[in-house]
A and B are shown apart, each in its own frame.
Chain A
Amino acid sequence: MAHLEARGISVRFGGKAALNDTTVLVERGAVTGLIGPNGAGKTTLFNVVCGLQAPNAGRVLLDGDDVTRKAPHRRARHGLARTFQRLELFTSLTVRDNVRVGGDIHKSWTRGRRDTAAEAERVLELTGLASIADREVAEIPTGQARVVELARALMTRPTALLLDEPAAGQTDEETAAFGRLLRRLAGDGLAICLVEHDMTLVMDVCETIHVLDYGRTIAVGPPEQVRDDPAVIEAYLGTPEGV
Chain B
Amino acid sequence: METFLQYTILGLVAGGVYGIAASGLVVTYTTSGIFNFAHGAVAMLSAFTYWQLRFGWDWPAPLALVVVLGVLAPLLGALLYGVVMRGLRGTSEVARIVVPVSVMLGFLALSTWVWDPTPRSPRLFLMFFGAGNTVSIGGVNLAWHEITAVVIAVVVALGLRFLFFGTRTGVAMRAVVDDPDLLELNAGRPERLAMASWALGAFLAALAGVLITPMMGSAMSAHALTLLVIDAFAAAMFGRLRSVPRTFVGALVLGLLGSYVIGYFPSDRWTWTGNFRVSLPMITLFVVLLFLPQDRLRGATVLRSRERYRLPSVRTAVVAAVVLVAGMWLLRGILAPTAVNHMAFGMSMAVIALSLVLLTGYAGEINLAVLSFGAIGAIIVHHFGVSGSGGDARSTLFGYAAAAVVCALVGALVALPSLRLRGLYLALSTMAFGVFVSNMLLRDITERQLPLLHTRFSIFPSGNLGVPRPKFGPVDLVAMPTFLMFLTVLFAVLGVGLIALRHSSYGRRLTAMKDSPAASATLGQSLVTLKLSVFMLSAAIAGVGGALMTAQIGSANLDRFDIFLSLTLLMLTVVGGIGYVSGALFGGIAAGVLFVALQNTFDKLGVDHPDLEGFFEFLANLTLVLPALMGVSIGRNPTGAVEKILVDFGPVRRVRPVLVAGIATVGVAYVLARNETISNWWLIVVTAVVIGVMPQAAKRWAPGPSEAAVDGTALPAADGADLPLELVGVVRPYTVADREMLDAALDVPAGKG
Which listed residue (B505, B515, B524, B526) contacts A90, Cβ 8 A?
B515
Against B, the Cβ 8 Å flags (1 = close, 0 = not) of A47-90 are 00011110000000000000000011101110011101010111
B residues in contact with A97, CB < 8 Å: 508
Which listed residue (A53, A77, A91, A100) contacts B524, Cβ 8 A?
A77
A residues in contact with B527, CB < 8 Å: 73
A residues in contact with B309, CB < 8 Å: 92
A residues in contact with B305, CB < 8 Å: 91, 138
Known: A90-B511, A107-B505. A84 touches B523 (CB 8 A): no
A residues in contact with B521, CB < 8 Å: 51-52, 71-73, 76
**B296 at the A/B interface (Cβ < 8 Å)?**
yes
B residues in contact with A155, CB < 8 Å: 523
B residues in contact with A81, CB < 8 Å: 522-523
Which listed residue (A72, A142, A152, A156) contacts B297, Cβ 8 A?
A72
**A135 at the A/B interface (Cβ < 8 Å)?**
yes
Residue from B508, B522, B525 with most neighbouring chain A CB atoms (10 Å): B522
* B509 close to A101 (CB less than 8 A): yes
CA distance A151 to B40 in the complex (A): 49
A residues in contact with B300, CB < 8 Å: 88, 91
CA distance A44 to B300 in the complex (A): 17
CA distance A105 to B510 in the complex (A): 10
* A104 close to B727 (CB less than 8 A): no
**A116 at the A/B interface (Cβ < 8 Å)?**
yes
**B716 at the A/B interface (Cβ < 8 Å)?**
yes
**B731 at the A/B interface (Cβ < 8 Å)?**
yes
Residue of A nearest to B298 (CB): A52
Residue of A nearest to B722 (CB): A131
**B520 at the A/B interface (Cβ < 8 Å)?**
yes
A residues in contact with B505, CB < 8 Å: 104, 107-108, 116
CA distance A76 to B297 in the complex (A): 15
Known: A84-B299, A102-B523. A92 touches B511 (CB 8 A): yes
**B751 at the A/B interface (Cβ < 8 Å)?**
no
B residues in contact with A104, CB < 8 Å: 505-506, 508-509
B residues in contact with A141, CB < 8 Å: 724, 726-727
Residue of A nearest to B527 (CB): A73
Minimum CB–CB distance from B723 to chain A (whole Å) comes to: 10
* A135 close to B716 (CB less than 8 A): yes
* B518 close to A93 (CB less than 8 A): no
* B296 close to A105 (CB less than 8 A): no
Minimum CB–CB distance from A133 to chain B (whole Å) comes to: 12
**A139 at the A/B interface (Cβ < 8 Å)?**
yes
Minimum CB–CB distance from B365 to chain A (whole Å) comes to: 15
B residues in contact with A92, CB < 8 Å: 308-309, 511, 514-515
**A42 at the A/B interface (Cβ < 8 Å)?**
no
Which listed residue (A82, A90, A140) contacts B522, Cβ 8 A?
A82
Which listed residue (A50, A53, A89) contacts B296, Cβ 8 A?
A53
* A105 close to B522 (CB less than 8 A): no
* B508 close to A100 (CB less than 8 A): yes
Against B, the Cβ 8 Å flags (1 = close, 0 = not) of A189-228 are 0000000000000000000000000000000000000000
Minimum CB–CB distance from A180 to chain B (whole Å) comes to: 22
* B524 close to A106 (CB less than 8 A): yes
CA distance A51 to B300 in the complex (A): 17
B residues in contact with A107, CB < 8 Å: 505
CA distance A104 to B521 in the complex (A): 13
Which listed residue (B509, B511, B518) contacts A52, Cβ 8 A?
B518
Known: A72-B297, A97-B508, A101-B508. A152 touches B516 (CB 8 A): no
* B523 close to A152 (CB less than 8 A): yes
Known: A52-B297, A105-B524, A107-B505. A88 touches B519 (CB 8 A): yes
**B409 at the A/B interface (Cβ < 8 Å)?**
no
CA distance A72 to B724 in the complex (A): 35
B residues in contact with A52, CB < 8 Å: 296-297, 518, 521-522
**B478 at the A/B interface (Cβ < 8 Å)?**
no
CA distance A52 to B298 in the complex (A): 8
A residues in contact with B512, CB < 8 Å: 90, 93, 101, 105
A residues in contact with B508, CB < 8 Å: 93, 97, 100-101, 104
CA distance A76 to B308 in the complex (A): 29
Known: A84-B299, A93-B511. A156 touches B519 (CB 8 A): no
Against B, the Cβ 8 Å flags (1 = close, 0 = not) of A89-132 are 11111000100111011111100000010000000000000000
* A73 close to B727 (CB less than 8 A): no
A residues in contact with B308, CB < 8 Å: 92
Which listed residue (B509, B514, B522, B724) contacts A50, Cβ 8 A?
B522
**A30 at the A/B interface (Cβ < 8 Å)?**
no
CA distance A234 to B523 in the complex (A): 38
Minimum CB–CB distance from A34 to chain B (whole Å) comes to: 17
CA distance A176 to B527 in the complex (A): 36
Which listed residue (A53, A105, A116, A138) contacts B523, Cβ 8 A?
A105
**A163 at the A/B interface (Cβ < 8 Å)?**
no
Residue of A nearest to B503 (CB): A97
CA distance A75 to B516 in the complex (A): 18
Known: A52-B522, A152-B523. A89 touches B516 (CB 8 A): yes
**A35 at the A/B interface (Cβ < 8 Å)?**
no
CA distance A53 to B505 in the complex (A): 29
Residue from A52, A73, A93, A156 with most neighbouring chain B CB atoms (10 Å): A73
B residues in contact with A116, CB < 8 Å: 505
Which listed residue (A72, A91, A108) contacts B509, Cβ 8 A?
A108
**A153 at the A/B interface (Cβ < 8 Å)?**
yes
CA distance A109 to B523 in the complex (A): 11
CA distance A108 to B727 in the complex (A): 36
B residues in contact with A139, CB < 8 Å: 716, 727, 731
Residue of A nearest to B309 (CB): A92
* B716 close to A76 (CB less than 8 A): no
CA distance A52 to B297 in the complex (A): 6
* B299 close to A86 (CB less than 8 A): yes
B residues in contact with A138, CB < 8 Å: 305
CA distance A106 to B524 in the complex (A): 7
Residue from B296, B514, B515 with most neighbouring chain A CB atoms (10 Å): B515
Against A, the Cβ 8 Å flags (1 = close, 0 = not) of B373-390 are 000000000000000000
Residue from A104, A107, A153, A156 with most neighbouring chain B CB atoms (10 Å): A104
Minimum CB–CB distance from B639 to chain A (whole Å) comes to: 11
CA distance A212 to B670 in the complex (A): 75
* B520 close to A105 (CB less than 8 A): yes
* A76 close to B515 (CB less than 8 A): no
Residue from B508, B716, B731 with most neighbouring chain A CB atoms (10 Å): B508
* B515 close to A156 (CB less than 8 A): no
B residues in contact with A105, CB < 8 Å: 509, 512, 520, 523-525
B residues in contact with A72, CB < 8 Å: 297, 518, 521-522
CA distance A43 to B506 in the complex (A): 30
CA distance A97 to B506 in the complex (A): 12
CA distance A137 to B456 in the complex (A): 61
Minimum CB–CB distance from B292 to chain A (whole Å) comes to: 16
B residues in contact with A100, CB < 8 Å: 508
CA distance A101 to B511 in the complex (A): 9
CA distance A199 to B520 in the complex (A): 30
Residues of chain B from 715 to 742 with CB closer than 8 A to chain A in the complex: 716, 724, 726-727, 731
Residue of B nearest to A94 (CB): B311
A residues in contact with B297, CB < 8 Å: 52, 72
Given contact pairs A72-B518, A73-B522, A101-B508, enumerate 5 new A-B contacts (beta carbons under 8 Å). Answer: A51-B522, A52-B297, A77-B524, A92-B514, A153-B523
Jot down 27 A-B pairs with beta carbons below 8 A, ordered by A: A52-B296, A52-B522, A53-B296, A71-B521, A71-B526, A72-B522, A73-B523, A75-B522, A76-B523, A76-B525, A77-B524, A80-B522, A84-B299, A86-B299, A91-B305, A93-B511, A93-B512, A93-B515, A97-B508, A101-B511, A101-B523, A108-B525, A109-B526, A135-B716, A139-B716, A139-B731, A152-B523
Interface residues of chain A, those whose CB is within 8 Å of chain B, are 50-53, 71-73, 75-77, 80-82, 84, 86, 88-93, 97, 100-102, 104-109, 116, 135, 138-142, 152-153, 155-156
Q: Which 5 residue pairs are nearest across A and B when measured between Cβ atoms?
A: A76-B524, A88-B519, A72-B521, A90-B515, A104-B505
